[in-house]
Structure 1
Amino acid sequence: MRLALFQPAIPQNVGACIRLSACFGVDLHVIEPTGFRFDDRAMKRAALDYGPLSHLTRHSDWDAFQTHRGPGRLILFTTKGATPLDAFAFQPDDTLLFGSETSGAPDHVHAAADARVVIPIRPDARSLNLSVSAGMALWEGLRQTSLLTPR
């Protein structure tokens, strides 16, 4: 299972996803351009010392990501999703893709997804934080596929 971030805008979210990658032993793909310089201090501070433990790959654009993302389904998490998280059946080689915090995922990314998933929230709330959503989705995917390693 892999995490992918499409053109993230907030360095702290990428830093938190680097920590997810390190703690759960999954690959993290960042699809550029990002809304910050990748050496931004805020991102480094958010990732703390987890950077060496993570498996981060940066892609120059969507096409480069599509060429190198690996096997398996592309699962887009979106507020416009069709399947609620608790009703979705994950597979071990899924790539969990999250759109930009400011603009989500464009139509061509939606079209490329094998499935679209929504994390249900209250109707009067707009959306969850990107890294919170990624953590919830990744944990559920790993739980379903028995890829969580016990301590």
Structure 2
Amino acid sequence: MLHVALWEPEIPPNTGNIARLCAATNTRLHLIGKLGFRLDDRALKRAGLDYWHAVDVVRHVTFADFERALTGEVKRDSPSGTTTDADRIEHPLPRVWCVETPAERPYTRAEFADGDCLLFGSESSGLPPSVRERYADRLVGIPMPGGAVRSLNLATAVGIVLYDALRRLHGW
């Protein structure tokens, strides 16, 4: 399963359309940080139509919460009844691919693997510089050779990259 993560999305219909895309592709959707809308927003619900029950949405207040959730940390039951650091089983962090504008490396050169996460920034400001730096080796973008636009619509960008990753992984 792939993951799609949105950093501080601002526009409800974009997030609703992405949620529907995630339902259609069995992709987990992560919403990170401050949202520009409430999760019960009418426009958000309308864009997702009646597919919200089929969307695996995980809400993370901070980026650190998001990274912790991706590790799939599991706690074993301790014989003493208390859990210590020795009782924690951590799984490696799935690869996070930052999809941003601008990026020197096109997403078509990324080697996606099952379990990877496609991380997209907010509509107006993208990803924070600290996140771009942290994942600089996996920073990719969508080529826009025309040069007439600064960026694509967020839902469009997610659709392009997600479906291409799934096509390559599953031979569609």
Aligned to 1:5: 6
Task: Tell me the distance in 2 between the aligned counterparts of 1:87 and 1:124.
Answer: 23
Offset from partner CA, 1:76-101 (integer Å, 9 cap, x none): 00012131122222111210000000
* Amino acid in the other structure paired with 1:108: S
Larger radius of gyration: 2
8 A contact 1:80–1:118 mirrored in 2: yes
| Residue 125 (structure 1) aligned with residue 149 (structure 2) | yes
8 A contact 1:89–1:144 mirrored in 2: no
| Residue 140 (structure 1) aligned with residue 164 (structure 2) | yes
* Amino acid in the other structure paired with 1:37: R
Task: Tell me the distance in 1 between the aligned counterparts of 2:159 and 2:17.
Answer: 9
**Matched positions, count:** 148
Q: Gapped runs of 5+ residues in structure 1?
A: none
Runs of 4 or more above 3 Å deviation? none
Shift of 1:111: 2.0
Aligned to 2:124: 102
* Amino acid in the other structure paired with 1:34: L
Shift of 1:69: 2.0
8 A contact 1:76–1:116 mirrored in 2: yes
Shift of 1:147: 7.1
* Amino acid in the other structure paired with 2:11: I
TM-score (norm 1): 0.93
TM-score (norm 2): 0.82
Q: Identity across aligned pairs (percent)? A: 39
